[in-house]
Structure 1
């Protein structure tokens, strides 16, 4: 279990870097990534997806309460974002509220879900529809593919329902397409089940179902997945995740890999957090477009961000020019002459 308030312990050194480059000019900086023996916090994205059809009338209030409890429990992760989606029949909206960092029932859209059988979301009709089955596949496919997942985040969809799923209205959103979308976007699927039919559909696409009221178990599962992915690891690298472009190009070469080996830009091996480990990388920054460019470069462990460096480059015409030696000499001579003039003036007075 993650401990609330836990701070990021892994590091990248230097923690910041700034320079001036001409267009086409490059500079290479040695980066040291330290992966500690302590568990760390991580970047976590959670989307809550609700069945809002009529049969959920007796459970929707409990589902919303559970979602708020889960959101509150995950607050200690430190770098959490949350949002929500819903499905009825035939309507659905897998990204009703996209990820944001405020993390309350209102900001995530949890509290928008209908109560007392009105089948509305934020005052608009959600299309209660006929019950059993519902278009859960379509909603989950949309959540997996259209959510603004953050690069390097641990990604979770937590869904609530009491009915089986059916192929979406356009005939393409089915069990197979959802499984592919979850895998391609590296999303973990968990759910709170109010009926065995929902459990069967969820498990059929690789999800894990928890019985109604088992919010503590679900939070524990999320925490275990996050900490488990952090304890044992096999790859370490440095990457700006495309943030420097189009102004600054970034390339990486692994230099040392602790007990493992370097392969291109990545340190590979069988690692764990039983001891602190260090890895070295040569990161080359190349000026691509004139202007001032500020972005982050990250240390990644198995693709997840564990530490961040702030970079700033002035490229081309915006760069700070250094005076030529002859110009510096002329400036020094002028300053000395001015000092001599002021001294003579003082003596005359």
Structure 2
């Protein structure tokens, strides 16, 4: 009678996205949210028809209660259980009894159901509308936890008085919806009552609360029906997303999406980097997927880390240089004194220099480097040697020189340095 193994395999996949993306670009990731068999942090209230005809059904649940609690807590360790029972309006103090408020302790839940005994009942309709009203905000008999998934498991074999001790079907429904409770209504086929839904009350309440109606359950199968009902509730998937400026995510189809619990919601996640996003930075989005409005644990948290590519090329110029005395001479270009003038939007730019005739390249050098360039078409090979004073290097090339600035991302820019050939 255990829950399916898939009850333990829930979460979002992939849980992390790490990519490098150009500014102004959108990438797409297929996102799968596998909903849990049991909603997260469940507060489960058993509402038991304890009139005389329910003896076999109650005994079935008594025999299985510890297993029910164990199976549910295996899937959702934060699960808690409460037990209440109801009889008929003429049954005095027993018309509604809270056996235990919410408890995480299996022994306490077992003792609570053990305290329920089948008796009374009077006419066919029972006092379930009063009982359902009591456990919501109307009666405030259950201490639901903040952020919990509220589930009411109601089983009986007869319709209910309407109103019941002054509480109508509308009152009971409002009381339950006020606390966002989903109702699983199990009609026990005891062969005695007229059925839980004889007047449409069960389907009205389950429909209004987003729950489930289970017809014609044999008294020997109530415990199994409880687990089946808990693992087949609608699961509404929503998301809370926070992103750094310059990064955004959107899901298609849009959320919320509702599926049977234990099944998948498959989404296209569009991750967009703004055109003005800071290049070279890493931007992050964190999305927490919620199940029925409740956080479902770390397995349902996704992190997107986007490295914004540097797509801006550096600037490069062959600027006027200084002579060894640190002075920019008149006719500096003809004299062959230059500077490698390069800059970029991010640190890390370097400069190389190439002889345009031989293709020989030297470098890398730092931006701002001063050099002398001598053009000597008759030389055997391009050369570079340290120079003197304020001038760092002396290049002797067969032809003109091309300066290339390269930034850390590999973007480049070029400039040409031209001088008259060396006189023979």
TM-score (norm 2): 0.46
The residue aligned with 2:146 is: 151
Kept in 2: contact 1:2–1:76 (CA 8 A): no
Q: Does 1:209 align with 2:176?
A: no
User: 1:132-211 maps to which residues of 2 (within 5 A)?
Assistant: 132-145=124-137, 146=140, 147-167=142-162, 170-171=165-166, 173-189=167-183, 190-193=185-188, 194=190, 195-200=193-198, 201-206=201-206, 208-210=213-215, 211=217
Q: Following the alignment from structure 1 to structure 2, what is the Cα–Cα distance between the partners of residues 103 and 7?
A: 24
CA–CA distance in structure 2, aligned partners of residues 61 and 136 of structure 1? 20
Which secondary structure does the structure 1 equivalent of 2:297 belong to? strand
CA drift of 1:163 comes to 2.2
Give the RMSD, CA atoms, in angstroms.
4.2
Q: 2: distance between equivalents of 1:279 and 1:143?
A: 44
Distance in 1 separating the partners of 2:292 and 2:126: 36
The change in CA–CA distance for 1:136 and 1:67 in structure 2 (over 3 A counts) is farther
Offset, 1:269: 6.3
Instruction: Provide the secondary structure at the position in 1 that maps to 2:195.
Output: helix
- Answering whether residue 4 of structure 2 is matched by residue 6 of structure 1, we say no
Distance 2:204 2:290 in 1: 32
Matches within 5 A, 1:95-134: 95-104=98-107, 106=109, 109-114=112-117, 119=119, 128=120, 130-134=122-126
CA contact (8 A) 1:54 1:131 kept: no
Aligned residue pairs, count: 239
1:169/1:181 CA distance change after superposition, 3 Å: closer
Tell which structure's C-alpha radius of gyration is larger: 2
Matches within 5 A, 1:293-308: 300-307=290-297
Which structure 1 segments of 5+ residues have no match? 14-34, 120-127, 240-252, 262-266, 281-297, 310-349
Work out whether residues 155 and 188 of structure 1, in 8 Å CA contact, stay in contact via their aligned partners in 2: yes
Q: Distance in 1 between matches of 2:110 and 2:298?
A: 26
Instruction: Please give the TM-score of this superposition, normalised by the length of structure 1.
Output: 0.54
Q: Separation in 2 of the partners of 1:112 and 1:67?
A: 12
Q: Following TM superposition, by how much is the alpha carbon of 1:81 offset from its aligned partner in structure 2, in angstroms?
A: 1.1
Tell whether 2:235 aligns with 1:229.
yes
Q: What's the CA shift for 1:36?
A: 5.5
Partners of 1:57 and 1:75 lie apart in 2 by: 27
Contact 1:299-1:307 within 8 A present in 2 as well? no
The answer to whether the 8 A contact 2:35-2:235 is kept is no
Other structure's SS at 1:257 match: strand
* Cross-structure match for 1:258: 250
Cα deviation for residue 60 of structure 1 reads 3.1
User: Structure 1's 113 and 277: CA in aligned 2 closer, same or farther, altered over 3 A?
Assistant: farther
Cα distance, 1:308 vs structure 2: 6.3
If asked which structure has higher relative contact order (CA below 8 Å, sep 6+), I would say 1
CA deviation map 1:58-83 (0-9, x unaligned): 54323433555543442332231111
The reply to whether residue 53 of structure 1 matches residue 55 of structure 2 is no
Deviation of the 1:196 alpha carbon: 3.8
Q: Which residue does 1:43 correspond to in 2?
A: 41
